Chains A and B, each alone.
Chain A
């Protein structure tokens, strides 16, 4: 069931120049959500942000009825959202889309880049609650672009790469030593981030018999299957990333990799 609800901002925590984390209070009992699902957030008071903005559910606390959104400021809409203050209202249509599915084995690697780390915290927590200890591999341009590593470290092992080598291993996520071993320590990859990164991971997984679930960031107008603007080519033809995705098994996508 989808809802349209006014949440109240409790905190707006600035993480870096680019990133903030909003904690939102739900007025009653939160509906259940699946990691990888997202919300369509109405941006009030922006001159040009007309459509809602899709944002992943970053974290959920059912006991306090709060959720978190991790926001990277990239344009007018996200800049306006990043300025929200405690006490402000935020209107969400949620939970939307098909999230990640649980694996058949416990050996999981969660790989994120940029704002793509957002859904992986909720996913990691979900694994921990199901008795699975996840490994995280997080990539960034520089040490300063890595966000909330401590939160991920509370859930599992965290491996890091940066393009300039200022933190963790130097290079892209695919260059990290844990990806290099002949027999990887994981059977399932869960990833969200730039397409180029996810394609490399899909290729890696495909050649090793590992499954790879990717989360796409197509531009959306509605977020719930009404407009057909957000499609991606799949083996079954065009599918909506907002309803059939945003998470897909990489083998289902018609990706040139």
Chain B
């Protein structure tokens, strides 16, 4: 049987399938449907230094083969996470990564420092790309100097696996990827949501309370795949690919494009068991193609 284990720097995953932040709650929400411990890892909700109420409703709009969201990082704050949520989930036997966001470099640093103390959290995913937060996320991920500044500052205090999640809302994503790699990122994940909007023609108003929001789901997959391919050519750290993955074939496309692991987001809403199906589908693909290690797929795209 083919080996599914992958390494992201020091981080060992039993298989390359993780869940995307903001789509998988804290894992508990899915425990009735699947064995959480069978996953390569889960990335929990975006966590900030202080509790946030998020944006006003409506925060969601369905779009062709996808959805827009403007949740706005609603969360209980890092102390709420540590006191209320961490004790409930720390015994999951999978890699639990916390997605960290902030509106200043200091907030990122303080949040990362607190999470560094948690034994059962082997890594963080630095969200420098969330397009929802007016004063924060967007700015860090869309300019090279600020992406470098925040990664550098967090690297100084955070000792475990530092994954940096890139925004697709940029002119050249490889520049940012190279910048954060040079600042000490252990891996990069991409893509976060694409900035979009929807209008209700009857009311002539935007559907979302924030006017614009983040697009996700199968409709973003070709863009995400292109960016994963470009970034994996540009950096040496492992790349974690996501954006519209809804089947094993989708996941394998990302691996072939250069990803070492993948995350599944929006597809969990339609099929809460999709992660397990993707893991099984990758295993079957290896068998069908007489390959003995999933790592053989990473970057195995045949061109020319």
A residues apposed to B, CB below 8 Å? 1-4, 42, 48-52, 93, 218-233, 237-238
Contacts and interface: CB of A to CB of B under 8 A. Distances in A.
A231 B62 CA distance: 16
Interface of B: 22-25, 29-30, 32-33, 45, 53-54, 56-67, 69, 71, 74, 217-218, 266, 268-273
A227 B63 CA distance: 16
A52 B57 contact: no
Given A2-B33, A229-B71, A237-B53, A52 B59 contact: no
29 contacts: A2-B32, A4-B273, A50-B66, A50-B67, A50-B270, A51-B67, A51-B270, A52-B270, A93-B272, A221-B69, A221-B269, A222-B268, A222-B272, A224-B272, A225-B25, A225-B29, A226-B29, A226-B30, A226-B268, A227-B25, A227-B269, A228-B22, A228-B45, A228-B54, A230-B57, A231-B54, A231-B74, A238-B53, A238-B74
B69 A229 contact: yes
Contacts of B218: 50
Nearest to B219: A50
Contacts of B64: 48, 50
Contact of A1 (B29, B32, B59): B32
Give the interface SS of chain A, mostly helix, strand, loop or mixed. loop
A226 B61 CA distance: 16
A2 B63 CA distance: 27
A228 B74 contact: yes
B54 A238 contact: yes
Given A228-B59, A228-B71, A229-B60, 11 more contacts: A1-B32, A48-B62, A50-B67, A50-B217, A51-B62, A221-B269, A222-B29, A226-B23, A226-B24, A226-B25, A227-B69
A219 B200 CA distance: 14
Nearest to B70: A229
Contacts of A230: 57, 60
Given A2-B33, A93-B272, A221-B269, A227 B217 contact: no
A50 B65 contact: yes
Given A2-B32, A229-B69, A221 B25 contact: no
A232 B217 CA distance: 24
A227 B54 contact: no
A205 to B, nearest CB: 23
B269 to A, nearest CB: 4
B33 A221 contact: no
Closest 4 CB pairs of A and B: A229-B60, A226-B25, A222-B269, A2-B32
Contacts of A93: 272
Contacts of B22: 227-228
Nearest to B265: A227
A51 B63 CA distance: 9
B272 A4 contact: yes
A220 B59 CA distance: 9
A216 to B, nearest CB: 10
Nearest to B56: A233
B62 A50 contact: yes
